[in-house]
Amino acid sequence: MPAAVSRPLSTQAGFPDRHTTLGAALRHAYDALSEHTYAELAAAGFADIRPAHRVVFRHLAPEGSRIIDLARAGDLTKQSMAYLIAGLEESGYVALESDPEDGRAKRVRLTPRGEAAMEILLKTSRAVERRLDRRLGAGTSSTLKQTLGSVAALLQPPAPAGD
C-alpha cells in the first residue's frame, strides 16, 4: 500500500521537540523575512539580485568601498567578493572606479540603480517592523531586536570561561 499519503514528517512522533526549538523558530522567521524581501525587490524590478548579493548591499559604504574591505565585513574571501561584485557590475548595480589614493585598489560604488535597490531594501525592512508593531503592539520589534541581540551576545564569545 504505497502512496502512503505523504504525511508531513514535521508532525510525526519521535524527536518530538525538534520542531519547536529556538533554532527552528529563528530559521522560520528569517526565511519568511528573506522571501518577503526578495519578493519586494523582484516586484520593484530588481529580480536579478540574488541572495548571495545581499552581503554587498549590507556593507557597501556610500563613498564606495574596496573589495577587500567588503570581503572582510562580509566574512568571505576577496575572490568570492570579487565574483559577487562582478555580477552586480554586469547588471548595473555597482560601478568600479580606481581608488585615487591607492593605485592597487578600486572602489566599488552604488550606481543610481543600486541606490534604488537599497532604498527598497530599507523601505521593506521599515514596513515589516511597522506591521509587526501594529499587530503585536508598539515596541514589539524594538524589544524583539534587543532580545535577538542578547541571543547573539550569549553565543558569540567562544565560551569565555567555564561551562
56 binds, among its own copies, DNA, none (CB under 5 to 8 A by kind): none
Q: Is 154 in the site for its own copies (CB under 8 A)?
A: yes
149 binds, among its own copies, DNA, none (CB under 5 to 8 A by kind): its own copies
Site residues (CB under 7 A) for DNA? 1-3, 6, 50-53, 55, 66-69, 75-80, 82-84, 87, 96, 99, 102-107
Q: Which of residues 38-77 bind its own copies (CB under 8 A)?
A: 39, 58-63, 65-66, 68-70, 72-73
Per partner kind, with CB cut-offs from 5 to 8 A, the member of DNA, its own copies, none near residue 76 is: DNA
Minimal distance, residue 51 CB to DNA, in Å: 6
Q: Which is nearer to its own copies, 45 or 149 (CB)?
A: 149
**96 vs 144, which CB is nearer to DNA?**
96
- Which three-class secondary structure string do you get for the chain? CCCCCCCCHHHCCCCHHHHHCHHHHHHHHHHHHHHHHHHHHHHCCCCCCCHHHHHHHHHCCCCCECHHHHHHHHCCCHHHHHHHHHHHHHCCCEEEEECCCCCCCEEEEECHHHHHHHHHHHHHHHHHHHHHHHHHCCCHHHHHHHHHHHHHHHHCCCCCCCC
